[in-house]
With several copies, the nearest count.
Chain A
Amino acid sequence: MSKPEKLIVDGKRLDGRGPFDMRPIKFTAGVLKRADGSCYLEFGGNKVMAAVYGPREVHPRHMQNASRAIVRYRYNMASFSVEERKRPGPDRRSIEISKVSREALEGVVMEELYPRSAIDVFVEILQADAGSRVAGINAASVALADAGIPMKCLVSAVAVGKIDGEVVLDLNKDEDNYGSADLPIAMNQFGEITLCQMDGHLTEEEFGRALDMAVDGCKKIHELQKQALIEKYGQDITPDVAQPIEGGETNE
């Protein structure tokens, strides 16, 4: 698509969504035989497979941690997942995404239960639309639960962006290409932010609104994640989070 004149017409985005609408999302838990846990996610045009192995032995041994499990995360794009064929193997972008995605999930995993072991999270982007990193985190979170890894709660993620000067939820590829800001956010069920990146241009006020919008989006995604697990297990296996907290205290 070449740059359209407007990305929002009569309050509707070009794919017909309102500012607060997310693209169609479909989680399926437990789709792989070999992995200990897995999840296939279609999130708009993103097609994402996540698998979890572990807790398992760490090689080489000097990477072991004597007091807790280490979490490893590999975000990988299939060569055919994008418009122009991508060379196989990690590049700088995927290394950064793997790092922040791991950090987004690591805090909810009860690592102290499995000293000296590794929990491996593998995310394959089979088709990439905008938002593949948040899609990956969402699928990985369900795959961790499917693998029976003890967790404090699930992590949910979504991106907010700005198009035609308006803050909107969950950019698609065209909106991302021609939009002016991108804010991927991940959140745990306590309302705490576990991933926060941003590039583009946002005023402080716009940022505040965008962040609130992301928090709402994450809550909706959490419901879908929970449903996917219920579908597979016939019951709610997500951790029981007594009272989600809506932001903590600061020294403001």
Chain B
Amino acid sequence: MSEDVIAEIKRDYIFSLAAQGDRADGRKFDEYRPISVEVGVIDKAEGSSRVKIGNTQVIVGVKMQPGEPFPDTPDTGVIITNLELVPLASPTFESGPPREDAIELARVTDRGVRESGAIDLSKLCIESGQKVWMVFIDVHVLDHDGNLMDAASLGAIAALKNTKVPNTKFGLGEDVPLPLNDVPVAVTAINVGNAILLDPSLDEGNVAPCRLTVITNKEGALAGMQKSGVGTLTPDQIKYIVHIASEKANVLREKLEGIQ
């Protein structure tokens, strides 16, 4: 059977299951696959995490080093987020410079952290206008079995919670925990026929016309959003997804509790 035919069969299967209120792996529409969050998995990093959502697996490392602030924000730390879709993680990833999917994932992860004010950047000034902390968030995807966005975002925030500012290493005093203000959480949904499914599996993600990721903060307000893919969503669908994303984020946020 050609790949196109297989894709067609998978699509029909997923759509007809959804029409009956069902999913291929038996989950409810708003149910995530099992989630595990470990921290401190990379000793060489200032903070790190390994997050699994089902078989999807990412490792996030946070490195910090002093650097120059931007001229217009002389007292503010700098966040640099990078994400690598290394070819180890999927038969469809390729070696070479990051492509648009990797860049989109990195930038949405970055905006989630940045726009929610998760990191208190004002406390990351070392010497005004001269030296501030650069926070490098590097997301390394190891196994892509769907919904990388939520895994990357969850991994980033878990690694940040695990991060110690390495003052000792740079002769700047004692190490202290990275000052955090908030815990933004990304929830991604797809629409399949008239069904809205959370945490799309790889197959579901592939057949869905588009995805919507909603990032909410502790108080349930939106900090970021990204539609990805060619399909459309009605305004009502978007409003519905925003609503359930903000509820579901609280459930995911529990996975991060107690982490440090």
Complex Cα–Cα for A34 and B137 (A): 25
Q: At the interface, yes or no: B164 with Cβ under 8 Å from chain A?
A: no
The count of residues in chain A whose C-beta lies closer than 8 Å to any C-beta of chain B is 69
Q: How close is B36's CB to chain A, nearest CB, in angstroms?
A: 14
Q: At the interface, yes or no: A58 with Cβ under 8 Å from chain B?
A: no
Q: Is the CB of A98 within 8 A of B100?
A: yes
The count of residues in chain B whose C-beta lies closer than 8 Å to any C-beta of chain A is 72
Interface of B is mostly: mixed
Of all chain A residues, the one with the shortest Cβ separation from B117 is A201
Q: Is the CB of B232 within 8 A of A80?
A: no
Spot the interface stretch: A17-25, A202-210, A234-242.
A202-210
Q: How close is B39's CB to chain A, nearest CB, in angstroms?
A: 13
Q: Is the CB of B232 within 8 A of A194?
A: yes
Of all chain B residues, the one with the shortest Cβ separation from A211 is B235
Q: How close is A53's CB to chain B, nearest CB, in angstroms?
A: 6
Q: Give chain A interface residues in 157-198, CB to chain B under 8 Å.
A: 183, 188, 190-198
Q: Among B142, B145, B194, point to the contact of A124 (Cβ < 8 A).
A: B142
Q: At the interface, yes or no: A116 with Cβ under 8 Å from chain B?
A: no
Q: At the interface, yes or no: A49 with Cβ under 8 Å from chain B?
A: yes
Task: Chain A residues near B232: list those with CB within 8 A.
Answer: 107, 188, 190, 192-194
Complex Cα–Cα for A47 and B45 (A): 13
Q: Is the CB of B234 within 8 A of A45?
A: no
Q: Is the CB of A96 within 8 A of B107?
A: yes
Complex Cα–Cα for A74 and B57 (A): 20
Complex Cα–Cα for A125 and B22 (A): 40
Q: Among A79, A193, A200, A252, point to the contact of B235 (Cβ < 8 A).
A: A193
Q: At the interface, yes or no: B55 with Cβ under 8 Å from chain A?
A: yes
Q: Is the CB of B65 within 8 A of A127?
A: no
Complex Cα–Cα for A202 and B239 (A): 13
Q: How close is B3's CB to chain A, nearest CB, in angstroms?
A: 12
Q: Is the CB of A248 within 8 A of B87?
A: no
Q: How close is B182's CB to chain A, nearest CB, in angstroms?
A: 10
Task: Chain B residues near A76: list those with CB within 8 A.
Answer: 86
Q: Is the CB of A201 within 8 A of B235?
A: no
Complex Cα–Cα for A95 and B100 (A): 6
Q: Give chain B interface residues in 32-52, CB to chain A under 8 Å.
A: 41-45, 48
Q: Is the CB of A127 within 8 A of B44?
A: yes
Complex Cα–Cα for A207 and B231 (A): 21
Q: Among A81, A196, A199, point to the contact of B111 (Cβ < 8 A).
A: A199
Total CB contacts across the A-B interface at under 8 A:
202
Complex Cα–Cα for A99 and B98 (A): 13
The contact string, 1 if C-beta is below 8 Å from chain B, for chain A 214-243, is 010000000000000000000000000000
Given contacts A126-B140, A127-B44, contact A35 B61 (CB under 8 A): no
Q: Is the CB of B221 within 8 A of A201?
A: yes
Q: Is the CB of A196 within 8 A of B212?
A: yes
Q: Is the CB of A197 within 8 A of B87?
A: no
Q: Is the CB of B97 within 8 A of A203?
A: no
Q: Is the CB of B142 within 8 A of A32?
A: yes
Task: Chain A residues near B65: list those with CB within 8 A.
Answer: 84-85
Task: Chain B residues near A74: list those with CB within 8 A.
Answer: 87, 95
Complex Cα–Cα for A232 and B210 (A): 35
Q: Is the CB of A128 within 8 A of B44?
A: yes
Given contacts A193-B234, A201-B223, A203-B222, contact A78 B103 (CB under 8 A): no
Q: At the interface, yes or no: B1 with Cβ under 8 Å from chain A?
A: no
Given contacts A95-B100, A96-B107, contact A192 B234 (CB under 8 A): yes
Q: How close is B190's CB to chain A, nearest CB, in angstroms?
A: 12
Of all chain A residues, the one with the shortest Cβ separation from B241 is A250
Complex Cα–Cα for A3 and B236 (A): 36
Complex Cα–Cα for A190 and B232 (A): 10
Interface residues of A, Cβ cutoff 8 Å to B? 32-35, 45, 47, 49-51, 53, 56, 74, 76, 78-85, 88-89, 92-93, 95-96, 98-100, 103, 106-107, 120, 122-124, 126-128, 183, 188, 190-204, 207-208, 211-212, 215, 245, 247-252
- Can you list the 7 inter-chain pairs with the closest CB atoms, starting with the nearest? A80-B61, A192-B232, A198-B225, A122-B88, A33-B55, A247-B234, A248-B234
